[in-house]
């Protein structure tokens, strides 16, 4: 098969679903993978109904399980005719609340899914990416990687780790013709955020950013290589302004800005 193929985690809903729709419209074979197997299958069928019967494939995937990654990648490699052009590490979870009041087990879950899930995916997918010329990895990061957000301490920490690993792999894997980048939006008003945050707070943190806008940026990151290598794509006016302030402002001002955003 000459058609490009993209493997997306956390694809049943939200940013993952919107990303799958973007790639399907562009003619990709889209693999939708999610711990919610029914949700992934339903989304895949709905996308295929509008783009073509053979445009999607789906399966259950717990990103915290390396063996599950291996099984899903083998299945996708076969379905795509031996291609893995794009890996989108989107799966993630979010819990808001004071650090000490959130159960330790929940903190561990956030680390397992948001960071180790991406690590598992990149490590397991490497042989397939290496065998596909010009392959790309797009990791879903966050503006909270720039400075920790109160009430989202562990989430922010995992996104800082995602940012750092992205930078390291971008350097290493460029020698293998694998491009690695991340996208960094503010918080997006998806079902995950709505469940985890009060409505007024997520509206303040997300602004006008939607899952569709983030998906558009993910697709652009995969399709359009910058003239000069750069691993990070900042999404949204609010995030871009934050990035500028983070580079030039004194540390006390950056702290105060994030302190106000966290309230």
When the pLDDT of each residue in the chain is averaged and rounded to a whole number, the result is 88
- Structural domain boundaries enclosing 27: 5-262
Average pLDDT over residues 45-53: 91
Give the span between the Cα atoms of 185 and 213, in whole angstroms: 9
What's the pTM value of the predicted model, to 2 decimals? 0.88
- How many structural domains is the chain composed of? 1
Question: pLDDT tens-digit profile of 61-85?
Answer: 999 999 999 999 999 999 999 999 9
The domain that holds 72 is classified in CATH as: 3.40.50.720
| Structure confidence at residue 83 (pLDDT) | 97
Average pLDDT over residues 150-166: 96
> Which pLDDT band holds residue 199 (cuts at 50, 70, 90)?
very low
| Structure confidence at residue 37 (pLDDT) | 97
């Amino acid at each position: 098969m000459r058609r490009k193929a993209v493997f997306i985690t956390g694809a049943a809903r939200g940013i993952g679903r919107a990303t799958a729709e973007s790639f399907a419209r562009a003619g990709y074979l889209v693999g939708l993978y999610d711990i919610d197997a029914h949700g992934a299958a339903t989304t895949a069928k709905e996308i295929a109904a509008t783009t073509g019967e053979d445009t999607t494939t789906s399966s259950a995937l717990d990103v915290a399980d390396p063996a599950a990654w291996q099984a899903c990648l083998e299945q996708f490699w076969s379905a795509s005719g031996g291609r893995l052009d794009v890996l989108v590490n989107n799966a993630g979870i979010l819990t808001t609340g004071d650090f000490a009041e959130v159960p330790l087990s929940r903190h561990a879950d956030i680390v397992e899914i948001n960071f180790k899930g991406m690590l598992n995916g990149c490590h397991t997918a490497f042989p397939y990416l290496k065998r596909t010329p010009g392959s790309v990895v797009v990791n879903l990061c966050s503006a909270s990687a720039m400075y920790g957000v109160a009430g989202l301490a562990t989430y922010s920490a995992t996104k800082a780790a995602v940012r750092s690993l992205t930078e390291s792999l971008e350097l290493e894997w460029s020698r293998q013709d694998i491009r690695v980048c991340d996208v960094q939006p503010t918080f997006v008003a998806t079902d995950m955020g709505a469940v985890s945050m009060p409505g007024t707070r997520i509206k303040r943190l997300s602004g006008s950013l939607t899952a569709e806008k983030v998906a558009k940026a993910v697709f652009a990151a995969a399709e359009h290589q910058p003239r000069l290598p750069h691993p990070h794509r900042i999404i949204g006016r609010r995030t871009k302004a934050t990035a500028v302030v983070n580079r030039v402002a004194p540390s006390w001002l950056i702290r105060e800005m994030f302190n106000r955003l966290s309230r």
